[in-house]
A and B are shown apart, each in its own frame.
Chain A
């Protein structure tokens, strides 16, 4: 088991954001978390990646307890994360964005005197090529279009050579065309690199076409879990989730 979340509860001053959530992700699996707004998806992601420390419960990665570790430590262990709102380094160029991430991964950031310009160039360009941003390499990343920025964020995340990729709403705010491209990109990369994927998504077409296993969160708790077929036919899910959409 690559990632194991055990009975995690998070309360913010009495408000329970996630309630006794357990979740397992196997190596190579494409797992998806769905749920209505406010179901605790982002909180769960923050708990797994170390941004928040759970009030109760444990998170294991490779059977190693990572509960309450700092995000940069967890990242170094091989967990990559992208954010719901694009999260890049806006005033750096596209190249520098990825380069910094590669430098951080290869632990070269405490080198004080070597000019960075020509460092880790090959690695950076191969990542840019993977996410299709070679032509934009010298543009200031903040001026890119939204779709490109999302691609760049994926590039930054991949730079730390993760085993598992946690994507928080990778297609939020995208046009149908951008969504299709973006999902194709993510699928291709995770297949090529043998990545495990854990993502949240609101677009049901995307969810049912990509996910191998779906976990439904509702009001902070796990409502249903299983293959796409099982979840689709689960009466509770239909009542709460699909009913709400109708």
Chain B
């Protein structure tokens, strides 16, 4: 009866969809990121640790995909799964077993089989799990995850047990000595997948999932089939997790039961929490942050890695309960605010958050300096002190310099920002980039660098918004209007 009407509506929707896609800033963002990151290996090939960096980025992107897929359940669906690593393992083993045992198996077919395997496993496991909620759901996912792990661990004839599957054949082009080919392959797959997930969370399905998270009973009473939507979300997360698992397997050319172990599930949970559960890109930031901290610390002190992780998590959950991206996006908004009040609030928040970032970066840098060179408190070990080369300064002089110079500059710049001085806005943007380069020059540990980088992105994002641009182009007029408005009331 309503079919003809529906199809005509869908046709119109498809048309506006293709037009809208070109105007979608997120799509452009993904394309720019893809282009920039695609040529990274060529840019850093002459660096000392080029292959280390390329492998690091490869892993970071795979984990980002896994974390975003996981967060579809946790952040958008409110389904806290403690067994997400099961699908990582299933994806890895599906592709691995196909490639290992079937000589004629095409590499790409095996790669496509991994997400299909993940989705089918999620369909079966999810069918039981979604019938329970909250803690029972979490425990069920944990239990099923452990069953998957034990199958991989104990079934020697098929999975190789704890010896894993080794020597899985992969195409020749993956085996290049610079690791750049595989990096590019992973980059394209992960960015496309993350973009797909972005479309999914912003689609009617994603919105419905959020509604279910917010209020399951109400969702049921507006006519949403809650269980069915949950199951589909579970399958989508399972499919993309499976894909991530296959990518990890190909990276290592082997697969071990550890891939499906529950510690991997907690790892991805931490990534989401660190980055921000209620944000889409939070898990990506979390994945990068966790892996950079891992790389920083395990170099010298692998034994305290867990301790440090726990400490950071406690800190984040207390100080930034919304995670890092949640902290960046947090806005104090009131529908009744006019432009002047909104801008004043925005700038006060910008100023406050900048201080957080500054102290965080200094703190992280100092902490990692202590870890990496515990003896060089005052001067560097072999006394090749040069006034102009900051790297030869000891930790304390360097940190004090960072604090004194940084606080002075930041205070002056932020004061100008709060009174809408256009010059200060440009200076702050320049200063943020400058400080990024300074940190690179000082060879600051990765996590400190990542925080500075996030601050740069935040500054540019915040200070380039249309409203902000307008406020700064009007100079102090906004505050004048603000005062006039108050006087009128």
- Chain A interface residues (CB < 8 Å from chain B): 49, 51, 70-72, 75-76, 81, 83, 87-92, 96-97, 99-101, 103-105, 108-119, 135-136, 138-139, 156-157, 159-160
The listed residue (B13, B196, B214, B221) touching A75 by CB distance below 8 A is: B221
- In the complex, the answer to whether A72 meets B200 with C-beta atoms within 8 Å is no
B335 interfacial contact with A, CB 8 Å: yes
Identify the interface centre among A51, A100, A118: most chain B CB within 10 Å of its CB: A100
0/1 string, B212-225, CB within 8 A of A gives 1 = 00110111111111
Q: Among the listed B24, B207, B217, B224, which residue makes an inter-chain contact with A116, where contact means beta carbons less than 8 Å apart?
A: B207
B145: interface (CB < 8 Å) = no
Q: Give the number of residues in B that approach A within 8 Å (Cβ atoms).
A: 34
Minimum CB–CB distance from A192 to chain B (whole Å) comes to: 21
A103: B residues at CB distance < 8 A: 204, 207-208
Contacts of A83 in B (CB 8 A): 217-218
Chain B residue with Cβ nearest A109: B208
B229 at the interface (CB under 8 A from A): yes
Residues of A within 8 A of B16 (CB): 118
CA distance A214 to B394 in the complex (A): 85
Among A104, A119, A138, contact of B335 (Cβ-Cβ < 8 Å): A138
Q: Cβ of B207 and Cβ of A96 under 8 Å apart?
A: yes
Nearest 4 A-B pairs (CB), nearest first? A89-B214, A75-B223, A109-B208, A101-B222
Residue ranges of B at the interface with A (Cβ–Cβ < 8 Å): 13, 16-17, 20, 24, 196, 199-200, 202-208, 210-211, 214-215, 217-226, 229, 232, 236, 278, 335
Asked if A114 meets B218 with Cβ closer than 8 Å, knowing A89-B211, A100-B211, the reply is: no
With a CB–CB cut-off of 8 A, which chain B residues contact A117?
202
Query: How close is A42's CB to chain B, nearest CB, in angstroms?
Result: 13
Tell me which of A51, A75, A89, A112 contacts B199 (CB under 8 A). Answer: A112
Residues of B within 8 A of A92 (CB): 210-211, 214
Given contacts A72-B220, A109-B204, A110-B229, 14 further A-B contacts (CB under 8 A): A89-B215, A91-B214, A100-B210, A103-B207, A104-B222, A110-B205, A112-B199, A115-B20, A115-B202, A136-B335, A139-B335, A156-B222, A157-B222, A160-B223
Q: Identify whether the interface residues of B are mostly helix, strand, loop, or mixed.
A: helix
Q: Could you tell me the distance between the alpha carbons of A118 and B203 in the complex, rounded to whole angstroms?
A: 10
Contact B224 A90 (CB under 8 A): no
Chain A residues contacting B278 (CB-CB under 8 Å) are 91
B202 touches A104 (CB 8 A): no
CA distance A105 to B2 in the complex (A): 14
Q: Is the CB of B202 within 8 A of A81?
A: no
Complex CA gap A139/B331 in Å reads: 12
Q: Given the complex, which residues of B lie within 8 Å of A112, measured CB to CB?
A: 199-200, 203, 205, 236
Offer 22 A-B interface pairs, CB within 8 angstroms, sorted by A. Answer: A76-B223, A81-B221, A89-B210, A89-B214, A89-B215, A89-B218, A90-B215, A92-B211, A96-B207, A100-B210, A100-B219, A101-B222, A108-B204, A111-B203, A111-B204, A112-B203, A113-B199, A115-B24, A116-B202, A116-B204, A116-B206, A117-B202
Chain B: minimal CB distance from A133 (Å): 11
With A87-B218, A109-B229 already in contact, the answer to whether A72 and B224 are too (CB < 8 A) is: yes
Query: Chain B residues near A81 (CB, 8 Å)?
Result: 221
**Chain B residue at minimal CB-CB distance from A108:** B204
B207 neighbours in A (Cβ, 8 Å): 96, 99-100, 103, 109, 116
- Tell me which residues across on chain A come within 8 A of B218, comparing CB atoms: 83, 87-89, 156
Q: Which residues does chain B contribute within 8 Å of A89, judged by CB atoms?
A: 210-211, 214-215, 218-219
Distance (whole angstroms) from the CB of B478 to the closest CB of chain A: 22
Complex contact A109–B205 (CB within 8 A) = yes
Chain A residue at minimum C-beta to C-beta distance from B229 = A109
Which of B16, B217, B221 lies at the interface centre, i.e. has the most chain A CB atoms within 10 A of its CB? B221
**Residue of B16, B20, B202, B223 with most partner-chain A CB within 10 A:** B223
* Cβ 8 A contact of A114, one of B204, B222, B229, B232: B204
Question: With the chains together, A157 CA to B219 CA distance in Å?
Answer: 11
- Using Cβ atoms and an 8 Å threshold, which residues of chain A touch B222? 72, 75, 100-101, 104-105, 156-157, 159-160
Among B20, B199, B200, B224, point to the contact of A104 (Cβ < 8 A): B224
Kindly identify which residue among B200, B215, B225 contacts A87, using a CB–CB cutoff of 8 Å: B215
User: Chain B residue with minimal CB distance to A113?
Assistant: B199
Min Cβ gap B138→A in Å is 21
- Taken together as a complex, chains A and B put the C-alpha atoms of A118 and B210 apart, in Å, by 17
Residue in B210, B232, B335 whose Cβ sees the most chain A Cβ within 10 Å: B335
Residues of B within 8 A of A113 (CB): 196, 199-200, 203
Instruction: Give the complex CA separation of A72 and B220 in angstroms.
Output: 5
Of B13, B16, B24, B219, chain A has the most CB atoms within 10 Å of the CB of B219
What's the Cα separation between A138 and B204 when bound, in Å?
A: 18
Min CB gap B30→A, angstroms: 14
What chain B residues lie within 8 Å of A104 (beta carbons)? 208, 219, 222-224
Complex: A34 Cα to B298 Cα, angstroms:
69
Rounded to whole angstroms, the CA-CA distance of A6 and B118 in the bound complex is: 48
**For B196, what are the chain A residues with a Cβ–Cβ distance below 8 Å?**
113
Contacts of A110 on B, CB cut-off 8 Å?
A: 204-205, 229, 232
Query: In angstroms, how far is the closest chain B Cβ from the Cβ of A163?
Result: 14
